[in-house]
Structure 1
């Protein structure tokens, strides 16, 4: 459109496709002035509807339970409040065409043409709040969602995900800098401030992804002891309803509930590692056996996959090949704008749009319209 040409000229892709945050001043200007103004003129809506046969795939990570008190923005900003989710669903339903996962499947196979302004809802990680808080709101609005679950959800009593455990233990470990010997290497724990603890968590996420679940448990057990937690520390998270719904994964019985609610289940590996950091043998095992575990639990094919984290630094061409060879029909990233008629043919690197906790409706519309991604490309953000 002409406004795009005036604003963007010739866009360039951000380095490595990463969705970096805008500078703080620019972010504030966009949130408070630019996006609301463009939404009020209906430009964003016209922009989206003018693009035929394209799809905006939204990524959620769940709805915060009513009894859970959000207190950690580093973790909780990935999830959305129930009222905000309801407002977003109603807005999308009224102004766009929210399609079903099966519509998307048919479109990718070339068997269906999408309506203007098509939007697909997806949700990653498969936590208990997906069933207790998210599905009721989807049913209330008559909408469907594609839920990406790890293989842990195929079990009757899945444990709290290892990356949550790692974060909890690091937050509670004594302040300072220490070293922990692990698998012939010394892991440095820099825990002098909250910022250092958060940075150490992400560094160890990548490091521990090189190892299988058994070795990760060995490291986490040592870290639990260092943090001064008892062996039954997890009981508190299961006894409190808010903590349980926030941090505990869905179980095999919950998968049946999802299907009975007419939702669709996709794969998300066995245990949610940073795939690009794993060995080829482990990456293949995570992708293939995650699908097999879910299929055995639900008794039907699992055709869609989402890469854990889904940024450009966590996925390589190797993972694209493995997803195809494991039998999936398509696989989703977590960046890259809308799926166009061209990019839909790259079925194992389909882009998505991440929805964050405090996103206003005008921001959501900038996301769905593709305007936000074009702006990021222009800025190289």
Structure 2
């Protein structure tokens, strides 16, 4: 299938990908434009998740791209970042679904699971037969998850008993398994567990009235004496350092998603600027509109350059927490500016969903906050700069 680089990729970063990677992106883009883009506004308005998305993503091979057990071909971290861009430029919620299922849930099993756990769960999740969620954030613990986790796990012979609550857990209203992070009462260390959502004592309730990422089905989770076999404890998840290994990669993924969200708003604004006529000519002919578009493209381009470099570092093994933290903080901050400038171009029309841009504008707020707030990520970078932690 013929691949055409995005016009918003002003410096042609996509052209550095392999032919096989570009062919995959072309197939993904066609599916998104024909099957997903026409329905997202309706689903966003109704705060409903398009279940056909699960099969579509599985059929096209977009889940499991990073893992040896499931990837359809050898590929780069930059390519996987561009997959996030293609998803988010159509809808940030679509990108978030895959980020949770693939990056966080499958990523936790890939990074912290045993060989047997990887072999058992990753193929089923890549095929869309098992949907994953990731339970770290709690009602009283967000930025301080490393120290403030209140969910507990107690070893009882060949089983573990888990008690606690989780909040803001994406995919959790329909997930088949949720990766639950809990403190072991014996050693006070954070450990990870693959928890089937059908387990007695596990319940998930949809969080209503969200005005950002409305398509994403976030839930409050309650765990009351949830008992699972020891075989479902992630073998190599034995402290928060192991949790952080998962988050290091997914923070970079969120940076890519932020670029895609910016591009979605930018593309809508460019199209509108070429169609909307005021004072006898298209508004794209006016200097102030061109200024907003140029500033938006500058933000997109700078963020893409940063994301490309972080992905290269991920591939060569030099990426550290502070690198993904800076990418996430920078790209989401620039996204917030960009979607506001693009919405401004629409004037009053920009606040109704039929023009697309308000969806990107609203969804940007969630990306700005999740996977570590801007402030927390800047503190991770600040620690690397100064050698001094300033978290408390």
TM-score range, shorter chain: under 0.3
Q: TM-score, normalised by structure 1?
A: 0.27
Give the helix-richer structure, 1 or 2.
2
Query: Could you tell me the TM-score, scaled by structure 2's length?
Result: 0.27
